[in-house]
Amino acid sequence: MQEKREREAAVEAVTLTTEAYPEGLKISERIEVVTAECAFGMNVFKDLFAGVRDIVGGRSEAVQKTLRDSRRVALYELKKEAFEVGADAVVGVDLDYVELVAAGNMVLLVASGTAVKLDHG
Helix 2-12 to helix 61-84 angle (10° resolution) is: 100
3-state class (DSSP) for residue 111:
strand
- Interior/surface letters 83-99, b for 16+ CB within 10 angstroms, e for the rest: beeebbbbbbbebeeee
What is the pLDDT, as a whole number, of residue 44? 46
What is the pLDDT, as a whole number, of residue 120? 81
CATH code matching the domain that covers 2-118, chosen among 3.60.110.10, 3.40.50.300, 3.40.50.1100, 3.30.110.70: 3.30.110.70
Sign (positive or negative) of CA dihedral 112, 38, 106, 58: negative
The domain locations on the chain are 2-118
What is the pLDDT, as a whole number, of residue 99? 81
Burial of 65 (0-12, 13-18, 19+ CB in 10 A): exposed
Nearest CA to 87 out of 121, 120, 117 is that of 117
Rounded to whole angstroms, the Cα distance separating 103 from 31 reads: 34
The pLDDT tens digits along the chain (121 residues) read: 889 999 999 999 999 999 999 999 999 999 999 999 988 876 644 555 555 555 555 666 777 777 888 899 999 999 999 999 999 999 999 999 888 776 567 788 999 999 999 998 7
Rounded to whole angstroms, the Cα distance separating 43 from 30 reads: 40
What is the pLDDT, as a whole number, of residue 45? 46
